[in-house]
Amino acid sequence: MNTKAKQVVIAGVFILLVVVVVCGGYANSVFTPDLPRPSFEPVTDSAAAAPDFASGTWINSEPLTLKSLQGRVVLIEFWTFACYNCRNTLPFVKRWHEQYADKGLTIVGVHSPELPEERNLDNVRREVASLGLRYAIVTDNDYKTWEAYKVSAWPTIFVLDKTGHVRWRHVGEGAYDECEQQIKALLAADSTQSGAAKQSTKKDEKTEMNDKITKSEDEWRKELTPAQYHVLREAGTEQAFTGAYWDNHEKGVYHCAACGLPLFSSDTKFDSGTGWPSFYQPITAANVIEVTDNTLGMERTEVRCRRCGSHLGHVFADGPRPTGLRYCMNSVSLKLEKQ
Ligand SMILES: [Zn+2]
């Protein structure tokens, strides 16, 4: 190779290097601004008690506190609706809610905005509904919760054990299998193993764990009327405009007719014109399970009681504000306790 050829090769390599460095930097600055490399770590410091949620607007749930969630595993995701990386994690978070809510997992999405339009509550509510998020969401417009958890990027997931201590932390997309393993391990763990577990919480945890009601179908058949049994245990549907509650306007709390768990408040009931009692949100997302129902040749979301697994009705995305959801229930699945 003569000297000129060598110079050409060296110049070529140099240009190639410049292109790689510049493009890499460009891609980094355009697609992942300020986002650190994904990282995850089990947190072993038993003293790492999680900070409580700062005040914000709650969607899909009554306001929750970590104290009220003692005995449950809690997954907290810091997200914001326009964040591409957050949106990629949501299908996994939704699946965990669907799969583990009735096994003791509560998911709270802390919505800490990045862009000005993400601070608008109507926008957040619209996105929560259109993304099909049914777990509890709390707004964090002043970043109080974000700062308390020392978060620096979207999305960041924390998993807390049954005593409210941080056991897992992950920044960015990915590590879904590891996160799910962590959830399962914490759900299975005896909560008293935590160094910080207090005597006083033991009773609550037991209540929570034994809270699920399982009865044989024979037992249910004896306890329920034939109409109740057909809807609650065989996922039947009462005829429209025939039930006790479709046109009821009394104040109170609607409980599961099979096990008595409080499910809906009359404050969230609205006239849907369907002939079935309709609500725009459950009393707390933790009291219902939502499962995909492919019967009758269409995909719908079935709603069941979290405690006894009985069928209540379906939920549709054509409801009124503020959630945009319509929980279409069977009167026969409910029992109103008047206020
Ligand atoms: Zn029930």
Predicted pLDDT at 205: 33
Per-residue confidence band for 300, with pLDDT thresholds at 50, 70 and 90: confident
Q: Which residue has the tokens 């009931």?
A: 269
∠ CA 323-59-166, rounded to 5°: 150
Give residues whose Cβ lies within 5 Å of ion ligand 1: 256, 258-259, 261, 305, 307-308, 310
Per-residue confidence band for 213, with pLDDT thresholds at 50, 70 and 90: confident
Least confident range from 18-32, 215-229, 278-292, 323-337: namely 18-32
CA of 242 to the centre of ligand 1 (A): 22
Of the candidates 182, 199, 200, 204, which has an alpha carbon nearest to the alpha carbon of residue 105? 182
CA of 73 to the centre of ligand 1 (A): 21
CA of 98 to the centre of ligand 1 (A): 17
Provide the percentage of residues in the chain whose pLDDT is more than 70: 80
Strand order in the sheet with 136-139: 39-42, 166-171, 156-160, 73-79, 105-111, 136-139, 58-59
Domain ranges of the chain: 39-209, 217-338
Predicted pLDDT at 212: 84
Provide the percentage of residues in the chain whose pLDDT is more than 90: 59
Per-residue confidence band for 182, with pLDDT thresholds at 50, 70 and 90: confident
pTM of the model: 0.50
Query: Helix, strand or coil for residue 101?
Result: helix
Check residues 129 and 19 and name the one with the higher pLDDT.
129
In this structure, the dihedral spanned by the alpha carbons of residues 298, 299, 304 and 309, taken in order and rounded to 10 degrees, is 90
Per-residue confidence band for 22, with pLDDT thresholds at 50, 70 and 90: very low
CA of 255 to the centre of ligand 1 (A): 8
What average pLDDT does the segment 23-30 reach? 37
What average pLDDT does the segment 190-219 reach? 56
Predicted pLDDT at 5: 61
Exposure string of 290-306, with b = 16+ CB inside 10 Å and e = fewer, is: beebeeeeeebbbbbbb
CA of 257 to the centre of ligand 1 (A): 7
Q: Which amino acid is at 11?
A: A
CATH of domain 217-338: 2.170.150.20
CA of 284 to the centre of ligand 1 (A): 14
Predicted pLDDT at 322: 84
Per-residue confidence band for 175, with pLDDT thresholds at 50, 70 and 90: confident
Per-residue model confidence as pLDDT tens digits over 134-157? 999 999 999 999 999 999 889 999
What average pLDDT does the segment 257-267 reach? 95
Q: Where are the beta strands (DSSP E) in 10-79?
A: 39-42, 58-59, 73-79
CA of 307 to the centre of ligand 1 (A): 5
| Residue 248 contacts residue 335 (beta carbons within 8 Å) | no
Predicted pLDDT at 12: 60
Average pLDDT, the chain: 83
DSSP state of 277: -
Q: Which residues form the catalytic set?
A: 328
Predicted pLDDT at 193: 44
- In CATH terms, are 39-209 and 217-338 the same topology? no
pLDDT at residue 42 tops 60: no
What average pLDDT does the segment 21-30 reach? 38
Predicted pLDDT at 13: 60
Domain 39-209 class in CATH: alpha beta
Q: Which residue has the tokens 């924390």?
A: 158
CA of 261 to the centre of ligand 1 (A): 6
Of the candidates 213, 168, 207, 211, which has an alpha carbon nearest to the alpha carbon of residue 186? 168
CA of 278 to the centre of ligand 1 (A): 18
What average pLDDT does the segment 281-288 reach? 87
CA of 309 to the centre of ligand 1 (A): 6
pLDDT at residue 325 tops 60: yes
CA of 306 to the centre of ligand 1 (A): 7
